[in-house]
Structure formats: structure tokens, C-alpha cells
Amino acid sequence: MTIKGTPQQVTFAPPVAVSLAKVHIKPDGEDVTYIPFAIYSEEQMVGFIMHAYEEQTKDSYWINGFIIDEKYQGKGYGKAAFAEMVGWIQKRHPHCLEVRLTVAKENHRAKVLYERYGFVDTGVVYGNEEVYKFQIKR
């Protein structure tokens, strides 16, 4: 099964194959580790999300490549998967103080999800994407 967003969303996240290639290509350097996750409902894959991080930092913990297949959007899978990913990062990396992500300026639906969760726009623009962050209270 190919996971893809709606036609309006296809430019917002790379295809899953591109995200998976990053695991081996390491385009951000050898110190960055990528961990891909499939998102399932029962036995059906409904999406994809990836975590990228630099272990020796307190703020280089990223969520990227996040996509819910167009057939499964609006059913709560994105919200649940996103919350699970942030919680997983907090548990796995107890020294992490900040989780970051980038979002396309035009991706208003994703921005609403991220902001509801507590992410805030940093004012930094990377390419055509805005950098958001979530402060972890320890």
C-alpha cells in the first residue's frame, strides 16, 4: 500500500520511500539517527512518521515525514500518532528538552494539530517550512 496525503498535501511531506532512504543515506550527517514508524489501525497501515535526533543534544529531536493516508484522515489517527510520538521521544530521551518539526507555510491543517498539542512557531524558516518547537517540562 502506498501512503499518500490528499492531492493538496502531496508537497507537504516527502514520499515514505524518500524518508526511508534518509535512514541509510544520512543527509544530515553521521550524528543524526533516523527511526521510521508505520502507523497502524488494527492490521491496516494508515500512516507514517519518522523521528530524527542527535543523541548528544538537548534540542535536536525532530518529528518529520509525518503523513496520514488520505483515506484515513479526519478519524483521529494523526492526533493519536502525533501524541504517541511526542510521548515516545520524551520517554526514550530523558535529557531531551525540546522536540522540533518543520511545517509548510501553507499546511494550515497540520499547524492546527501541532499548535493544539503545544508546539509554537519559533519564527525560524528553513527552506519553505516554518520551524515549530515543543518545550518539555522536566
- CATH code: domain of residue 118: 3.40.630.30
Q: How many residues does the chain have?
A: 138
User: 91 burial class (0-12, 13-18, 19+ CB within 10 angstroms)?
Assistant: exposed
Q: pLDDT, tens digit, for every residue of 56-109?
A: 999 999 999 999 999 999 999 999 999 999 999 999 999 999 999 999 999 999
> Residue 42: inside a domain, yes or no?
yes
Question: What is the domain extent for residue 116?
Answer: 16-135
Total count of domains within the chain: 1
Q: Is residue 10 part of a domain?
A: no
Per-residue pLDDT of 23-60, as tens digits, reads 999 999 999 999 999 999 999 999 999 999 999 999 99
d(CA 125, CA 127): 6
Inside any domain, residue 46: yes
Would 71 be classed as within a structural domain?
yes
Which strands sit side by side in the sheet containing 61-68, from one edge to the other? 32-41, 44-54, 61-68, 98-104, 129-135, 120-126
